[in-house]
Amino acid sequence: MALQLGDEAPDFEAETTDGTIRFHEWLGDSWGVLFSHPKDFTPVCTTELGYTAKLKPDFDRRNVKVIGLSVDTVADHNEWAKDIEETQGQEVNFPMIGDPDKKVAELYGMIHPKSLDSLTVRSVFIIGPDKKIKLTITYPASTGRNFDEILRVIDSLQLTANYQVSTPVNWVYGGDVVIAPSIPDEEAKVKFPKGFNTLKPYLRLTPQPNK
Ligand code: BEZ
List, in order of start, the domains of the chain with CATH numbers: 13-144 (3.40.30.10), 163-206 (3.30.1020.10)
Does ligand 1 come within 6 angstroms of the Cβ of 115?
A: no
Report the predicted TM-score, pTM, of the whole model to 2 decimal places: 0.97
The pLDDT value recorded for residue 1 is 85
Q: What percent of the chain has pLDDT over 70?
A: 100
Task: Tell how far the Cα of 142 is from the centroid of ligand 1, in angstroms.
Answer: 6
> Which residue numbers in the chain have pLDDT < 50?
none
Angle, helices 43-54 vs 74-88, to 10°: value is 70
The active-site residue out of 27, 45, 81, 111 is 45
Query: Is 45 an annotated catalytic residue?
Result: yes
Q: Look over the chain and give the mean of its residue pLDDT values, rounded to a whole number.
A: 98
Does ligand 1 come within 6 angstroms of the Cβ of 144?
A: no
The pLDDT value recorded for residue 139 is 98
What pLDDT digit, counting tens, does each position of 93-138 carry?
A: 999 999 999 999 999 999 999 999 999 999 999 999 999 999 999 9
Q: How close are the terminal C-alpha atoms of the chain, in Å?
A: 40
